Structure 1
Amino acid sequence: MTIYSGPVFDMASQQFSVIADHLSIPINERDRLLMPKRAITISCPIHRDDGTTAVFEGYRVQHHLTLGPTKGGTRFAGSVDLGEVAALAIWMSWKCALVGLPYGGAKGGIGVDPASLSKRELESLSRRYMQEMIPFVGPHTDIMAPDMGTNEQVMAWFMDTYSMYHGRTVTEIVTGKPVSAGGTLGRREATGRGVAYLARRVMSDLSINLSDATAVIQGFGNVGSIAALELSNMGVRIIAVSDHTGALYRAAGLDVPDLIKHVSAHGNLAGYSNELSYDPANILTLPCDVLVPAAIERVIDAKAADELRCRIVAEGANGPTTPEADLVLERRQKEIFLIPDILCNSGGVIVSYFEWVQDLQQLFWEEDEVMRREFQILDRAFDQMTLRAKRDRIFNRTAAMSIGVERVRAAKNMRGLFP
């Protein structure tokens, strides 16, 4: 029995079982590696603008603290539940270990649609969430970051709430803050830039000419829009994009800066163009060189995986591909190169680490230094993954996750079990 449930947690558990079998991890060691160290569930009451009181459920899961403090985003979305948050924390652990960061994984969230809140209500809910979390988080215990439905402003409210409680400014309690409040240059763009950087590297390895290449972006939030912009700046044609309001398609290529301008003004892609409208259900299977699923979990199932017509899948989202789809993609790995999520979207936590280090030292870097260091770490992790995949003749996801799980396991075994 476990308090964690739901399809996303089941998916994370199933993925871990595959890796544990591959690494021949004894059965009696597996629960210690998989099960989260700590889960916090809270109630967040706020006054609504109409004078009523509303209570929202909030969560935070800290997977392990073996390598250092936990690190992970906080999402505000109607679908958030404890199982989903736990799965995301587990994936973050393997991600941090893969790219060599001194963190365990964490994740948090509130079950709320942020679009249903006024700005004052959003601030009240953000501050109440952090207030309730103060006994369980800290710069050397658990550092929060933005995720779906949260942004720099929410992180600034988190940081201010924590700082007021401690009577001094504690910028290092969260990352993804505005630069004016102790954030780092390049953090907002880091995840999308990393996705585009790794996609370009694979295109180079596959001898795909950038000026002839095409890309499809599913999910046009912060990650998808920045990935689209970076790929477009490289010369890649972005032929289709989508978000929860619909999809747009143009074979000759879409105007990405104009799309970003529209989304900035209106919040989503709705109303951009009727002529370019396309069925969102078919966007994943459009012919292209690079497919970037950058929306939510479990969008590529076995059927979709079998119908993909891309050369590269660059997973901008966490867990976009189901275990059943992985079996299909493993069979098709000579046709389709998968850049797994724990590597592909790790640019965000890499630059969050840089932000945390800069806040602790009160010494800040220029943006070109941030980018140089981010790409250096991505290159190293990519090389390790591909070397492992070729050496052991295994799927890229298996290689990437094996490296992450092995590093966490080695640290736990070295430290032992207390008491």
Structure 2
Amino acid sequence: MSMASDLSNPLLQTRDPAKRSWLASANDAACDFSIQNLPFGIFSDQRNGAPRAGVAIGDAIVDLAALRVAGLLALDADDDVFSRPSLNAFVALGRDVWRSVRVQLSALLDAACSTLRDDAALRARVLVPMSDAAMHLPVDIPGYTDFYSSKEHATNVGTMFRDPKNALLPNWSEMPIGYNGRASSVVVSGTPVCRPMGQLKLPDQDRPIYGACRKLDIELETGFIVGRGNALGEPIACAQAEDHIFGMVLLNDWSARDIQQWEYVPLGPFNAKTFATTISPWIVTLDALEPFRVAQPEQTPEPLPYLRHTGDHAFDLALEVRLRPEGADAATTIARTNFKQMYWTMAQQLAHHTVSGCNTRVGDLMGSGTISGAAPDSFGSLLELTWNGARPLALEGGGARTFIVDGDELTLAGWCQGDGYRVGFGTCVGKILPARG
């Protein structure tokens, strides 16, 4: 497609790599929130304590409710969906509306547009410094499902706890493996997480004991938000599945490995996962991620027909994990990997989830599963990075970790790097507090 044809389409114009904003902070090549990004979230601030919808740009948030009151945001809806404490009502309006809002915001924030650029009073009403804002869960989450879709991660875990020659179970290469998680304990970045209590089976004892988790871990994941559900009994076809996805977030599926090891047979994770799942506050739309679409890994054997799709369905999304001990001046980057290595795609996950006739709803959260690469420093969990504690991980400034200790702060970061701009997710942060009970 030629640049001329690109510039004739308003939606494609929003992804123009040469596009710049009058807000200088958005034009830094390392800024997550470029004008090409425009992710959606829910925020409040000291001026207005009511949670409401916003879009991130540079070091600021566009107050969508205030922008609509100013008459600068057309929306084909009877009520003001942007004044609500979640994005669900806006998301439910459909992809055409998401895209219309994206196009309008891109035009208003463009360096050549004087409407906001030259009106200081108007800017003061509709722009909120990020430093003054508190972020909230972006959507009400009716249901949460976590998948297990990284071949490298599944191979590492299978090697560690089963036969290395048969690390993957026979079903793993035939379908996206997943389990239904706990939506009630999904929290937004910055929310402290208490170390969980539960049953632990020590190797030298016949019966379990009750106590605080001793092997607390993170799982570096992404998640996608369902933007259009399906009716009970009506599966979503793999080829159309991405039409049902509003966007993506970073996701840390905190894991109590010792509790998990004792409880997971025969029905899988339960208390080892239910205590908390942290997501980043900004939802990056698939339209913003489109320039970074790449081919997914080759799948062998070829999936069954209901799991087949043509084209590229992975994204070149760089991911990092950082650990900062309590009181430390700096964090240690303990892992670097990339989402493009995921074996099963988001479309395949959603198609498989609904093939039985399971219905999904606007706001449902689907976790990717731990994202690991082939290199030891690209593993997405401490379980892998330290090989279940056998290889302690050295930290900058001294000290080491096998698993998370109280006071540790874990940060996930992710971004797609363009030519002179970035489409980033911000961060997904959680600090571990001591167990209660």
Fold in common (TM above 0.5): no
Decide which structure has greater strand share: 2
TM-score, scaled relative to structure 2: 0.29
TM-score, scaled relative to structure 1: 0.29
Decide which structure has greater helix share: 1
Higher relative contact order (CA 8 A, sep 6+): 2
Rg larger in 1 or in 2?
Answer: 2
